[in-house]
Structure 1
Amino acid sequence: MSSQFYNQNATQLAEQYLSADFEKVHAAWLHLLQPLLQKPQCRMLDIGAGAGRDALYLAQHGQDVEVYAVEPAQMLAELGARHTKDYAVHWLEDSLPELERITSKEISFDLILLSAVWMHIPEGQRPRAIRKLANLLKPGGQLVISLRHGQGEVELKERGMYQVCADTLKQLATQVGLQCILCTELQTDELNRADVHWQTVVLRLPDDGSGSFSLIRHVALNDGKSATHKLALMRVLLRIADGHPGAVIRREDNRVILPAGLVALYWCHQYKDLIDYYELYQTPNKSPNMGFMKADGWHLLTHLNATDYRVGNLFVGDDALALHKTLSHAVQNIRNMPCKYITFPNTEQCVFELASQVVRAKDTLFLDFESLCQWGEFSLPEHVWTALNRFACWIEPVLVSEWAKTMASYRGNAIHLEQQPYIFSQALNWLDPKRTTTEVRQRVTDMAEEGDAIHCVWTQRSLQQGFDVDHCMPFSRWPNNDLWNLLPSTPKANNEKRDRLPSNIRLHHAGEHIRHWWQQAWETEQESVLSQRFFAEANLALPGLGVGNRSIDDLFAALLLQRGRLRELQQLQEW
């Protein structure tokens, strides 16, 4: 799209756009919009929002609607922001096909509107654009695209327009799993331009996704398994997608790029207790040893447990040297085993790619985003990442069940099957919630002994007479034990909240007290190591934060986004 033309003519174009009535312009699909406007906690995205006519209508007429407006022309966007300033419209300077800023927020939409935008996208970029848009839709979400027919030569050149075709658009949509639910005939132009006609295409993302479920199901249930490698990698990626939306290095060519070191860390995390504590075989072979278990790495760390392998932890001395080598061995094993043998159905094309780098072992290793990038880059298809991100709570039980059955089928595990038939599922628990809760409890106790006044973040009552540590985002639905997610609470408030998700209103009311607790407990010079860990955990776990973020306010804004994601994906009961 030629932003220069739209910036130079912003005032004139804004006046022109605002002169057209929304309901007349979009009359063909208005019947599909009305149910969405009544939907609770509905999120809508207006791409190419111009002067804000459509964004304003959506914000004005929705009962509980959050509107995001994307406009690449800065001058137009400024006029649009002024036009919508009294309503909940979030403006972003972004553009197709990248949509980097809106994608980095890791949120999805009930409605995406492209009004008079598609003709600005070159034909060669349209497949990528439609895939990007499909990945931003919620299951059942609708994508509305208006097509302009009748571009003159001057407009084609000055305004960066290209020819459009509804049939071609529908074919592209089918390839990414979208269904066409409406395609209108050509309609006259509301601005009375005789040579311009419009056509509306409405696409929907089915609730079963865009084909990713069939691939994940194939790997989990049908794909051949000489060991548990494939299930392990799928679960690692699911846990990262669900728990670390901030781990994405970048997105390119419809793929998501992650730190290879993070994939390796989670690989070691989930195998650690299975092998060292429960002594469960992970292959049908008689040897319990796997390819990444080496004498100079894995076998020097038997004194550790799975929860030591987590973002934000610091290793020094021999442990750091051994963990460096363990992660390097894990990267090699992941690249040579599951990455090599997980392919798209009926093809030899690998689904996952790992470009590894040699890392020299050092006697200090702090597990944060920067250090985990040293081992190279791991990439996966964006649509697979999206499916894992949105449907983790439904996919993980399938992976865990199949993994347990696979281990039970191995000869080396026969004795466990006879004596402890439930050990396989028990051993696959991802985290021990007690460990970090105890750590935070000790922090509260130490602060109280130093004379600091500690209050419940929910009720603001003093905690001198006893306290609980509450998972702000409920652990049973989103297993996260990061420092930012653990908050001091009265036992009564914690008991009332239980496994419910704090409502948007309650979280806003508690915002000042949560931020104060974070600053009081973790953002202090005396606790610099804990402060580093606090931000390292949060920046990976919460959406939209930069790697080097040190802002408590930005962290809380990201917490609100994560609350919204969990609410819409899991339909959790609110408190």
Structure 2
Amino acid sequence: MINTEALRQINYIIEHDSASSTYKYVLLKSVINASQKYDHLINIENSRANIPLGLIVEQWILDYMPFVFKDILQGSSKTTVLDKPITDIYNKIFKLLNLDISTEWVYGYTQFTKAFQNPTMSLELSKEFLNLSKKMANKIVNMPMKYTGKSEYEFFTPQRYKFGSVKLANNEMYNSSFVMSDFGYFSISEQHYNIFRYLGQTLYGTSTIMAKWKQKTNSLNANQETVKDIIEKLSGDTLEVRETTSIRKILGQEKECIWSGKELKGKNYDVDHVLPFSVWFNNDLWNMLPTDRILNQQKKKAKIPTRKLIEKRADIIMNYWNDYQRAMPLLFKSQIEVALIGREIAEDKVLNTAIESLCNKSDYLIHDRGHEAFNI
């Protein structure tokens, strides 16, 4: 499955490909993330893996936000963090969110992320996030995708190169599902995709890509302590944006543990991740379900529920998902389409398809990535 020549090509790009900016490293980080988490959106055809460009666009918007916010250079230009049009749109969004230079960057990042993921955002914010996505897409396909490798578009092949015509439908607000479907695809070889999917953490997790990103950023900036802080937090699980209060209100009085079936009384239970945040970095509604506190903290912890356990408890999981869908229909729909099923599933098959996708991700994490299984 793993082609050694393809692995050499990736290692060459990381270690020796010229880099006047951090773009190449953030692109590789984003493609690894997409390859490992969004296989249900990726199509393999003619030995090429076709990946939604929107996955990369949204990752870039979030990853570069702290650097723009604190004016930390990411390219050879000495006047702006990214292109001026991109920086200008970020600054419009910061103003709309009442974030200014005195704001601590972690708080700013949290507020930005919440707004970015809110399907009921204001019309003005929706417009600016769309503009930012289009500018970022142009930047990605015409800079790092074009110049990664020894010749133009040798490694990445985008489906489209201009995004000015991308528009929201009437009464549609900016959301992740729209970006995944309307920004087209790019392709990489199936061999490179397999390396990113199965060895990506080795390339990205603790060493090479993140170290190169930090090294390049340090060479461009004087304030190296802030650089270190931002990159370390972006590469770990310390920027978790989790809100369980609204979920607890949805759950109501009668609840049972999703794993054991034990009745959950009062507030003495956990709302926690099905796929652990330390592994999957996801706070979507579908991934946040009620569980017995003792079982969760003493036995499950960072383990991955097995396919057998998920299938055994599927009816209960889907009952909770139905509750979320009724209470927050726009948010739940957007999240589950991006994270588990895609946009083309018939309405009456959405939840069953999502369960199967969740089982597939469990299999991948346990059998391919080597994470410890959880079963009862």
TM-score normalized by the length of structure 1: 0.56
Query: Which of residues 361, 366, 371 is equivalent to 1:567?
Result: 366
Query: Which of residues 510, 513, 523 is equivalent to 2:325?
Result: 523
Q: Is the 8 A contact 2:147 2:153 kept in 1?
A: no
Q: Is the 8 A contact 1:292 1:298 kept in 2?
A: no
The aligned amino acid for 1:268 is I
Query: How far does the alpha carbon of each residue in 1:6-30 deviate from its partner, in whole angstroms, 9 at most, with x for none?
Result: xxxxxxxxxxxxxxxxxxxxxxxxx
Distance 1:279 1:254, change over 3 A: same
* 1:489 maps to 2:291: yes
The aligned amino acid for 1:481 is N
Greater fraction helix: 2
Q: Is the 8 A contact 2:86 2:136 kept in 1?
A: no
Query: What root-mean-square deviation, in Å, do the aligned CA atoms of Structure 1 and Structure 2 show?
Result: 2.8
1:314 and 1:228 map into 2 onto residues whose CA distance is 33
CA shift at 1:272, angstroms?
1.0
CA shift at 1:494, angstroms?
1.3
1:493 and 1:269 map into 2 onto residues whose CA distance is 34
Counterpart in the other structure of 2:102: none
Distance 1:455 1:256, change over 3 A: same
Relative contact order, higher structure (CA 8 A, sep 6+): 2
Q: How does 1:212-361 map to 2 (within 5 A)?
A: 212-248=6-42, 250-276=43-69, 278-291=70-83, 293-294=85-86, 297-302=89-94, 303=97, 305=109, 307-308=113-114, 313-343=119-149, 345=150, 347=151, 350-354=154-158, 355=160, 356-359=162-165
1:257 and 1:230 map into 2 onto residues whose CA distance is 19
2:121 and 2:187 map into 1 onto residues whose CA distance is 27
1:466 and 1:434 map into 2 onto residues whose CA distance is 22
The aligned amino acid for 2:319 is H
1:400 and 1:518 map into 2 onto residues whose CA distance is 35
Counterpart in the other structure of 2:177: 369
CA shift at 1:330, angstroms?
0.7
1:339 and 1:287 map into 2 onto residues whose CA distance is 23
CA shift at 1:498, angstroms?
0.7
Q: How does 1:141-220 map to 2 (within 5 A)?
A: 205=1, 208-220=2-14
Q: Is the 8 A contact 2:258 2:317 kept in 1?
A: yes
1:315 and 1:365 map into 2 onto residues whose CA distance is 7
Greater fraction strand: 1
1:540 and 1:421 map into 2 onto residues whose CA distance is 30
The aligned amino acid for 1:468 is D
1:375 and 1:359 map into 2 onto residues whose CA distance is 10
SS in 2 for 1:373: helix
Which ranges of structure 1 fall in alignment gaps of 5 or more residues? Answer: 1-204
CA shift at 1:360, angstroms?
5.3
1:425 and 1:296 map into 2 onto residues whose CA distance is 23
Q: Is the 8 A contact 1:257 1:380 kept in 2?
A: yes
Q: Is the 8 A contact 1:352 1:379 kept in 2?
A: yes
2:322 and 2:215 map into 1 onto residues whose CA distance is 46
Q: Is the 8 A contact 2:57 2:133 kept in 1?
A: yes
1:361 and 1:561 map into 2 onto residues whose CA distance is 33
1:569 and 1:293 map into 2 onto residues whose CA distance is 42
* 1:466 maps to 2:264: no
SS in 2 for 1:257: strand
Distance 1:507 1:380, change over 3 A: same
SS in 2 for 1:552: helix
Counterpart in the other structure of 1:547: 344
2:284 and 2:321 map into 1 onto residues whose CA distance is 12
* 1:379 maps to 2:187: yes
Aligned residue pair count: 350
Distance 1:332 1:245, change over 3 A: same
Between stretches 321-330 and 371-380, larger displacement belongs to 371-380
CA shift at 1:508, angstroms?
3.2
Q: Is the 8 A contact 2:130 2:174 kept in 1?
A: no
1:547 and 1:295 map into 2 onto residues whose CA distance is 34
SS in 2 for 1:384: helix
TM-score normalized by the length of structure 2: 0.82
Q: Is the 8 A contact 1:312 1:536 kept in 2?
A: no
CA shift at 1:209, angstroms?
3.6
The aligned amino acid for 1:387 is I
CA shift at 1:325, angstroms?
1.1
Counterpart in the other structure of 1:457: 258
Counterpart in the other structure of 2:100: none
2:355 and 2:283 map into 1 onto residues whose CA distance is 17
Distance 1:569 1:307, change over 3 A: farther
Distance 1:291 1:394, change over 3 A: same
Query: How far does the alpha carbon of each residue in 1:209-254 deviate from its partner, in whole angstroms, 9 at most, with x for none?
Result: 4533222222222211100111111111111112222223x44432
CA shift at 1:567, angstroms?
0.7
CA shift at 1:549, angstroms?
4.8
Query: Which of residues 304, 317, 324 is equivalent to 1:514?
Result: 317
Which ranges of structure 2 fall in alignment gaps of 5 or more residues? Answer: 98-107
2:280 and 2:93 map into 1 onto residues whose CA distance is 28
